Amino acid sequence: MSMESISDIWIGRPRPNPAARLRLFCFPYAGGSASVFSTWPHQLPPQVELCAVRLPGREARMSEPPFERLTPLVRALATGLAPWMTRPFAFYGHSLGALVSFELARELRRRGAPLPRRLLVSGRRAPHLPISDPAHDLPDREFLSWIRALGGTPEEILREPELLAMFLPILRADVAVNEAEPFVAEPPLECPISAFGGLADDRAGRAELEAWREHTRGPFTVEMFPGGHFFLRSARDLLLRSVSAHLDDVLRALPA
């Protein structure tokens, strides 16, 4: 059995592309799963293979406990994804996924492993900025009100006790990954960073996205799209058009 088949518990490929010159690893938001990105490959450059990251506690990995802290998750990802990083790659992460992808890039650097050619971060303030309203330790009723305010969780899950009992521990664990560990400063990354945000997202406005600039020595851009925190749904086509343009830039820079 190949190393890739052993490690594919971490990766879903909605549209396998053995001839791809670039892999795009996509990291979901809190409570999200790999299926969030299932339709994306059809709107990406043909030389890109999308690799959706499968986190424990959901979908095919429902029987596994979710990670509750950032550092152990990032270390597990660095090991689990290593067999897939044999060709050039980029990272895209939304909200929690933006933080995870950034910290994974720093962990890869510490290991002397290959680094992403571009980091695409979406819907999250820069990691060094404090979170003003941490939610992972809130009582259930207040935590659910906080989740409803974000607007990304289907109401049928929040209203159905059995579904909620399954979903709530995963969501709490993800929010703890996002909030519970203090940021540790390190030198900026060498790879370019592109930040995306929703014009109506009061959790990650332009100023909070601009602050990502200090985490790269390379080029940096910010783009804003119509919608709130989950603009990756409401403005998906616009977002994917921009993501594709950034990936085309990466492809042009690769050796022939």
List residues with catalytic annotation: 95
* 43 Cβ contact list (under 8 Å, min separation 6): 237, 240, 241, 244
Two tokens, residue 78: 């660095």
User: Token pair 């971060």 is at which residue?
Assistant: 121
Q: In the numeric block, which tokens belong to residue 196?
A: 């995306």
The Cα–Cα gap between 212 and 57 comes to: 29
Crossing angle for the helix pair 70-80 and 96-111, nearest 10 degrees? 60
Strands of 220-225's sheet in order across: 11-12, 48-53, 22-27, 89-94, 119-122, 193-198, 220-225
Other CB atoms within 10 A of residue 206 CB: 14
Residue 232's closest CA among 203, 201, 210? Answer: 201
- Residues contacting 155, CB < 8 A, separation 6+: none
